[in-house]
Amino acid sequence: MYGLQVIFDLFISSRSIPYVYSRGCNYFIAMQNTSIYKVILIFTGLILLNCSSPAEKASKLHVFVTIPPQKYFLEKIGKDLVQINTLIPPGASPHSYEPKPSQLTGLSRTKLFFAIGGDFEGAWLPRICKDLSGLKVVFALNEHSGAQSDKCPNHDHDHHRHSQGHDPHIWLSPEQVLHMADIIAIELSAADSVNRDQYLNNCSLFKDEIRDLQNKIRANLNGCTPGHPFMVFHPSWGHFASEFDLSQISVEIDGKEPGMREMQNIIDIAEKKKIRTIFVQPQFSKRSAQTISDQLKLKVSVADPLAENWAENLLKISEALGKE
């Protein structure tokens, strides 16, 4: 509105004086040629449209997340009020990823870091906290249905939890994401209180979408018997299986590919359970899954737990399971 008002003032003033003074951007134009003057006048007015007041040009809240699905959640709740950076890019394995120097620089300009609470974060998060003491880290921990927030959390207790049976893939359960959404909205509101109502409203709409997704997934799985078994290479889908009454069978054992004896045991289980599909993820080797597939003539399908389009990904998996 401010820029449009200036353009109007400039046109009015052009009828009486050959001088232009544009408020806000400190331009002074003096022209004798009327036609050229009017062209410059319009051009200057258009520039002024971008000379917004501080309130009109408020900066976005900069946040970091660990994995791509979290970016999906932040986009739903933060929308255009938040600038989101993802630490682990699509296709990369969280278990072997190391943050780049450019990302550490970005973190130094960030108010909030939303951690997922996985054991893989324990390899580098304490170091980041030590170097960036002003960074607030927010956890959505599986054990709590809530958040743990800290300036520099102690992550020692998280080491090796995955290999000892803890499944950190909480984002693959829509029910868990309902809790995570509340946490995200609360933390964004605390960091940017001016837009609190917007964050809370966006959160409410997102939770409606999640509940609708849950209903669609249940419809896709309607033909599955309780405890319906499905086979995966890496045990990422435990929370998904638990919510929708499925049974996950993992090829990987304690974070390693199975040996010959273990492989035969898995093949026997797959045959007994009448498994038709083995789901693999792009971050891991398909060799063992392919061996089982070749022997039992099973289908190998990709199920990426780190896919950024979270809702579409879960629907795709439920459709594949429902067709088995």
Torsion (CA) 268, 269, 274, 278 in degrees, nearest 10: -100
From residue 200, how far is each of 44, 65, 181 by CA, in Å? Answer: 40, 19, 10
Q: What is the pLDDT of residues 112-139, one digit of tens each?
A: 999 998 777 877 888 888 888 788 999 8
Question: Does pLDDT of 50 surpass 60?
Answer: no
Highest mean pLDDT among 32-36, 218-222, 273-277: 218-222
* Run of H or E including 149: strand 146-150
pLDDT in tens, 73-110: 999 999 999 999 999 988 787 877 888 888 888 888 88
The average pLDDT across 304-311 equals: 95
**In terms of residues, how long is the chain?**
324
- Contact criterion met (CB below 8 Å) for 63 and 83: yes
Flag whether pLDDT at 8 surpasses 50: no
Between 72-81, 97-106, 147-156, 298-307, the lowest mean confidence (pLDDT) is in 147-156
> Starting from the edge strand earliest in sequence, which strands make up the sheet with 277-280, in order?
246-250, 228-232, 277-280, 299-302
Q: Is residue 67's pLDDT more than 80?
A: yes
Confidence at residue 155, expressed as pLDDT on a 0 to 100 scale: 43
Mean confidence (pLDDT) of the chain: 79
The whole-angstrom separation of Cα 207 and Cα 182 is 9
CATH numbers and ranges of domains, the chain? 2-48 (no CATH), 61-217 (3.40.50.1980), 223-322 (3.40.50.1980)
Residue 230 in this model has a pLDDT that exceeds 50: yes
Count Cβ atoms below 10 Å from residue 126 Cβ, excluding itself: 16
pLDDT for residue 252:
87
pLDDT at 145 over 50: no
pLDDT digits (tens, 9 = 90+) for 237-267: 999 999 999 999 999 887 788 888 899 999 9
CA distance 46 to 4: 8
Q: Beta partners for 8?
A: none
Top pLDDT among 51 and 252 is at 252
| Residue 165: per-residue pLDDT | 56
- Mean pLDDT for 181-207 is 97
pTM score, whole prediction: 0.75
Give the pLDDT confidence score for residue 175 in this predicted structure: 97
Measured CA distances, 205 to 63, 79, 190 (Å): 21, 12, 19
